[in-house]
Structure 1
C-alpha cells in the first residue's frame, strides 16, 4: 500500500518550489492591476458608452470586446474553450514555476499566469476580454502600427519576452 505522506510530498514538490511565492505574488499583482484598470476604464470612465477618448495623435482609449485569442486573432464564440485553455496553460506554467531556479524566470511566469487568468475572468464574466489601449498611426492601417490591447496582454507579452531573455542568459552560462 502506498504511503500517503510520500504521495502528499510528491504532489507538494510538483506544485511548490522555493520561488513559487514570488511567481504567484507577481501573478496576483498583474491580475489585480489588470482588473483594477479594467474596472476604472469600464465603470469610472464609462468607456463602453463613450467609445473613444482621444489622448494623443497615436494613442486613444477605445473600447473593444475581444472574443479571439490574442489581439483579436482567431475570433470564436467558444469562450468556454478559451477559458479552459487559459486555466490548463496556467496550471502547466505553475508546475514550471515550482521547478524554477531563476528569479527572473519565476517573475516572468507570474506575469504570464496573472495576465492569462485575468483575461480568462473577463471571458467568464463578460463573455469577451475588455481591450482599450489603442495605438495607431492615422492613415496607416498596418497590423504592427494599429492594435488594441489591455494590461493583461502587456503582462503576457513582457513575461514571454523575459522568459526568452532568461533562457538566453542560461544558455550563455552553459
Structure 2
C-alpha cells in the first residue's frame, strides 16, 4: 500500500483558509449570542456544575494575566497568524498539518478580532469569554480558546511523531540518509573489487 501523495501548495492553503474561516465564524457567532443573551458576570448553569456560562470581558490572557499590557497579546496573536499564513503559502504539504494549522489560525483570528475591534478599542480590545467548566479548570474561556489549546497540543503531537510540514516522516528521512553512505560504501567496494580483478588479469597476461 503506497502513501498518499502530498498536497499541492494551493490545496493546503485552501484547507487552512477554509477551516480558519469556519472557526472564526463559529467563535464570533457564539460570542454574539453570549453578549445578546447572557447577564454580565452572573453564572448561568447549563449542565449543573459541569458546564456554566459566565460572561466576562477579558483584557488579559488566560486567568486574566497581563491585564495592563493587552497590546502585547494583540501583537503576539498577529505574529502567530502571520507565521501560519507564511507556512501555508510556502511549506505545508501535509493534510494533518493543514488541518491543525487551519483550526489554530481560526482560533487565533477569533481572539485577534476581539483585540482589534471590541471595546475599549484598537489594539486593546477585551476578549469575550463565557464558557466555564470548573471541574476541569478555573478559567473562563471561549470557542477560539478551545481550538487554540487543542491544536497546540495537536501540533506538539505531530512534532513528536516526526511528521514534517511536507508530509514526510523524520524516521524515513533518517533511514534514507543512513542508506546513502551504505550505498556509497558498496559502490566503493565494488570499484575496489573491479580494480583488483583487472590487476589480476593484467598480471596473468
Shorter-normalised TM range: 0.7 to 0.9
Q: How far apart are residue 17 of structure 1 and its match?
A: 4.4
State the match for 2:84 in structure 1. Answer: 93
Number of equivalences: 150
RMSD: 2.1
Query: Quick check: 1:132 aligned with 2:130?
Result: yes
How far did 1:160 drift? Answer: 0.9
Gaps of 5+ in 2: 1-8, 120-124, 164-168, 172-205
**Following TM superposition, where does structure 1 have runs of at least 4 consecutive aligned residues deviating by more than 3 angstroms?**
78-81
TM-score, structure 2 length as denominator? 0.66
SS at match of 2:130: strand
Higher RCO (CA < 8 A, seq sep 6+): 1
Kept in 2, the 8 Å contact 1:104–1:162? The answer is: no
1:31 to 24, 43, 59: 24
Show the counterpart of 2:50: 58
Query: Deviation per CA, 1:107-145, whole angstroms, max 9, x where unpaired?
Result: 1111121111111111222321011111114xxxxxx63
Would the aligned equivalents of 2:62 and 2:139 in 1 still touch at CA under 8 Å? no
1:10-29 to structure 2, matched below 5 A, reads: 17-29=10-22
2:102 to 94, 98, 110: 110
- 1:82 aligned to 2:73? yes
SS at structure 2 position matched to 1:25: helix
Question: CA–CA distance in 2 between the matches of 1:71 and 1:103?
Answer: 33
2:115–2:126 Cα contact (<8 Å) kept: yes
Specify the structure having the higher radius of gyration (Cα): 2
Superposed CA offset, 1:11-40 (max 9, x none):
xxxxx6440110111110110000011111
TM-score between both structures, scaled by the size of structure 1: 0.76
Stretches of structure 1 that go unaligned for 5 or more consecutive residues are 1-15, 138-143
